[in-house]
């Protein structure tokens, strides 16, 4: 193991990028919350309109189905079946691989843990590239990649360079357009079964003090916008207001395989979803809730189903009457205002919708409550609240931001 904190260059045995990165950052970490971590990585939102208008609902519901299926198939992980990546709306981080580095635009995904390149920009071998000879294969439901595991130098922003890092290099891939691969920041168990020769993550040398990732998104009304940030090993206090409130990870299956929490949802004072398990997910664009909760929300708002987009549509009068949609997590409530419940009107045409309509970002997950994954708090929730994914303490945190009550949409 080689550590040089002065140059922020770290070498560890092969492991997931997130594990290696956070181990590097935690070498001198104290067991308290680290504010203003020096390692940050910008995230850009990109609408994938290469095939014309996008169907966000279809992609999100397909992803939700795949997320549930991976829990059901945990006894047969060698199939490598994990969550489908949302290729309708991507949240992209620029990551350097090799020396000199080639920059790859990778989807940020909290629903998977493999990091790989080569879907778009071909992998460029340099003097730091080492072919392990190990095959790697992952199926994402509506996409997949297969190839070979390499170790190489990985550069994240200007803050950290990791040497001899394990990455997947795609020989073939399907379902990924306009991006080069994935940077997976989901729970480590999701990598199991994707490599023939799995590394031993129980090595005593791999004890990690603080595995924390902070994520900031900001509402945007443009097709492509660098409106987010990943912070590794701590949080960025400039991105949120007040304090971060934490809730323990759920033990309910299959939400427990992801960043799962328990919450209830009320529309105004009316309960539409009693406390149940679901997940927080950067790879889902909309807010998806169980079919019975969705029916109550549709009725309460007076919305009608728009056949073109699959989204709920409301009138200006109904928008003016919208009540807060409250996500009750532990003793804390996170309220989405009326403006936070609608899709950015400037981007309606990218959905194939009308520029004059008002579309809601809450929709059905496709199954009733009681199945162990009854909601997904997707990007449209996360752009209003700062989120913290804390593996060390098995918890997820939220805080308000300057955009919680914004009228951007």
Are both 43 and 104 inside the same structural domain?
Answer: yes
Q: Select from 341, 375, 365, 320 the least CA-distant residue to 267.
A: 341
Domain assignment present for residue 173? The answer is yes
d(Cα 332, Cα 223) in Å, to the nearest integer? 33
Q: Write out pLDDT tens, residues 375-407.
A: 999 989 999 999 999 888 899 999 999 999 999
Domain assignment present for residue 249? The answer is yes
- DSSP assignment of 79-122 equals G-B-PPP--SEEEEEEEEETTTTEEEEEEEETT----EE-SSSP
Are both 282 and 167 inside the same structural domain?
Answer: no
pLDDT at 212 over 70: yes
Q: Is the pTM of the predicted complex or chain greater than 0.85?
A: no
Q: How many CB atoms lie under 10 A from the CB of residue 120?
A: 15
pLDDT of res. 385: 98
Of the candidate ranges 77-81, 207-211, 369-373, the one whose mean pLDDT is the lowest: 77-81
Are both 173 and 270 inside the same structural domain?
Answer: no
Residue with tokens 């397909």: 62
Which is higher by pLDDT, 335 or 179?
335
pLDDT of res. 198: 43
Domain assignment present for residue 228? The answer is no
Are both 368 and 255 inside the same structural domain?
Answer: yes
Burial class (CB in 10 A: 0-12, 13-18, 19+), 100: exposed
pLDDT at 331 over 80: yes
Domain assignment present for residue 217? The answer is no
Quickly list H helices, 352-401: 379-382
Q: How many domains does the chain have?
A: 2
What band does 173 get if pLDDT is binned at 50, 70 and 90? Answer: very high
Stretch (H or E) spanning 199: none
Distances (CA, A) of 196 to 18, 75, 78, 148, 356: 20, 16, 9, 10, 53
Residue with tokens 């400037």: 346
pLDDT of res. 47: 72
Are both 30 and 119 inside the same structural domain?
Answer: yes
Q: Provide the mean pLDDT of the chain.
A: 80
Mean pLDDT of 139-164: 81
d(Cα 186, Cα 148) in Å, to the nearest integer? 21
Are both 254 and 378 inside the same structural domain?
Answer: yes
Are both 193 and 270 inside the same structural domain?
Answer: no
Q: Which of 190, 206, 222 is the last residue of a domain?
A: 206
What's phi and psi for 274, nearest 5 deg? -65, 160
Q: Write out pLDDT tens, residues 49-65.
A: 555 567 889 888 988 98
Which is higher by pLDDT, 289 or 285?
289
Mean pLDDT of 205-226: 68
Q: Write out pLDDT tens, residues 91-129.
A: 788 899 999 999 999 888 877 778 899 999 999 999 999
Are both 338 and 266 inside the same structural domain?
Answer: yes
13-50: buried (b, 16+ CB within 10 Å) or exposed (e) per residue?
ebbbbbbbbbbbbbeebeeebbeebebbbebbbbbbee
Domain assignment present for residue 164? The answer is yes
Which is higher by pLDDT, 307 or 156?
307
Active site members: 109, 281
pLDDT at 189 over 90: no
3 state SS of 223? coil
Mean pLDDT of 266-288: 95
pLDDT of res. 70: 66
Domain assignment present for residue 218? The answer is no
pLDDT of res. 351: 87
Residue with tokens 């709306």: 89
Q: Are 195 and 9 in contact (CB under 8 A)?
A: no
d(Cα 72, Cα 229) in Å, to the nearest integer? 32
Mean pLDDT of 176-194: 70
pLDDT at 43 over 70: yes
pLDDT of res. 27: 40
Are both 253 and 201 inside the same structural domain?
Answer: no
pLDDT of res. 18: 56
Mean pLDDT of 69-98: 55
Domain assignment present for residue 223? The answer is no
Domain assignment present for residue 405? The answer is no
Mean pLDDT of 238-244: 95
% of the chain surpassing 70 pLDDT: 76
Are both 263 and 144 inside the same structural domain?
Answer: no
% of the chain surpassing 90 pLDDT: 51
Q: Write out pLDDT tens, residues 290-309.
A: 999 999 999 999 999 999 99
pLDDT of res. 188: 57
Q: Which range of residues forms the domain containing residue 323?
A: 241-400
Q: Are 396 and 246 in contact (CB under 8 A)?
A: yes
Can you give the CATH number for the domain in which 332 is found? Answer: 2.40.70.10
């Amino acid at each position: 193991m080689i550590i040089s904190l002065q140059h922020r260059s770290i070498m560890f045995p092969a492991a997931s990028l997130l594990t290696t990165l956070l181990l590097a950052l935690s070498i001198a970490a104290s067991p308290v919350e680290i504010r203003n971590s020096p390692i940050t990585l910008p995230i850009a939102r990109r609408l994938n309109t290469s095939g014309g208008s996008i169907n966000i609902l279809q992609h999100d519901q397909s992803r939700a189905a795949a997320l549930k299926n991976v829990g059901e198939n945990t006894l047969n992980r060698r199939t490598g079946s994990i969550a489908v990546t949302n290729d309708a709306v991507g949240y992209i981080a620029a990551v350097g691989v090799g020396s000199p580095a080639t920059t790859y635009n990778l989807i940020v995904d909290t629903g998977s843990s493999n990091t790989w390149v080569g879907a778009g920009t071909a992998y460029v071998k340099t003097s730091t590239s080492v072919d392990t000879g190990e095959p790697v294969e992952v199926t994402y439901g509506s996409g997949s990649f297969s190839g070979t595991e390499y170790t190489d130098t990985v550069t994240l922003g200007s803050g950290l360079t990791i040497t001899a890092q394990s990455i997947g290099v795609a020989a073939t891939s399907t379902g990924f357009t306009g991006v080069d691969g994935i940077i997976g920041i989901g729970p480590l168990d999701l990598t199991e079964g994707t490599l023939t020769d799995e590394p031993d993550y129980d090595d005593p040398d791999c004890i990690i003090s603080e595995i924390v990732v902070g994520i900031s998104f900001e509402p945007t009304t443009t097709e492509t916008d660098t409106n987010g940030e990943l912070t590794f090993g701590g949080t960025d206090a400039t991105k949120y207001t007040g304090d971060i409130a934490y809730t323990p990870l759920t033990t309910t299956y299959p939400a427990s395989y992801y960043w799962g929490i328990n919450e209830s949802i009320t529309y105004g004072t009316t309960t539409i979803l009693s406390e149940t398990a679901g997940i927080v997910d950067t790879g889902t664009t909309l807010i998806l809730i169980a079919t019975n909760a969705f029916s109550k929300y549709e009725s309460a708002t007076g919305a009608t189903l728009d056949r073109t987009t699959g989204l709920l549509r409301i009138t200006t009068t109904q928008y003016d009457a919208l009540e807060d949609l409250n996500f009750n997590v532990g003793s804390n409530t996170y309220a989405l205002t009326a403006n936070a419940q609608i899709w950015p009107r400037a981007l309606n045409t990218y959905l194939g919708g009308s520029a004059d309509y008002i579309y809601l970002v809450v929709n059905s997950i496709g199954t009733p409550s009681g199945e162990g994954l009854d909601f997904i708090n997707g990007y449209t929730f996360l752009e209003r609240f700062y989120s913290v994914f804390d593996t060390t303490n098995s918890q997820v945190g939220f805080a308000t931001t300057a955009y919680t009550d914004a009228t951007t949409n």
